[in-house]
Chain A
């Protein structure tokens, strides 16, 4: 069992839909990160969370420390949101990554 598990692995949505990606982890963490990786490989850090909820534009990230669970929500999805979304947890300095969720938003 991976230390960080994401669901779903693949997600296809229509433009405008509300999207949720889930992440569960089994280890003690100091923070949880949501990352975005576009085709071609570049990784962008979206959020770092240690509690509660953060919002940036159409993106919202929440974390429940007791349940060891986090969600990434995208409101009013757009084709440019198509990417791999990766949940990663930090314990100390290193990140441990989930396997990612491939999101495709169709126009």
Chain B
């Protein structure tokens, strides 16, 4: 079965550079979530999209922006990168049913290193 795809898997950037992370949800899933997991930390929710509209926003810095496109893939854009942005960035997707809470399927993550 198709899973959540994230690209790139690894990314190395310099401070103040920009980065774009991509997430391709499981086919027919309508919701995408982004999480950030710093070294030794538990994942923190950044932002989510449902049917191409932002549905929830967590602790996402103003330097970051994200969107979900017509094909449901999502991109997380990160500007003015800082050393503290080095983390594993997970994308998850789900199909929101009537209960408004469905299993989130996680991608393998993108490991971002800022030097």
Q: A-side interface residues toward B, CB under 8 Å?
A: 30-31, 33, 35, 41-45, 48, 50, 86, 90, 92-100
Contacts and interface: CB of A to CB of B under 8 A. Distances in A.
A33 B104 contact: yes
Contact of B42 (A41, A48, A94, A97): A97
Contacts, number: 61
Interface stretch (B17-25, B63-71, B76-84, B105-113): B105-113
Contact of B104 (A86, A95, A99): A95
Nearest to B49: A93
Interface residues of B, number: 28
A106 B93 CA distance: 34
Given A41-B88, A43-B90, A93 B109 contact: no
A94 B99 contact: no
A3 to B, nearest CB: 11
Interface of B: 31, 33, 35, 37, 42-45, 48, 50, 55-56, 58, 88, 90, 92, 96, 99-106, 108-109, 111
A100 B101 contact: no
Contacts of A94: 33, 45, 48, 56, 58
Nearest to B35: A95
A95 B100 contact: no
26 contacts: A30-B99, A30-B101, A33-B103, A42-B109, A43-B92, A43-B106, A43-B109, A44-B106, A45-B103, A45-B105, A48-B102, A86-B42, A92-B56, A92-B101, A93-B31, A93-B33, A93-B48, A93-B50, A93-B101, A94-B48, A95-B43, A95-B45, A96-B45, A97-B42, A97-B44, A99-B42
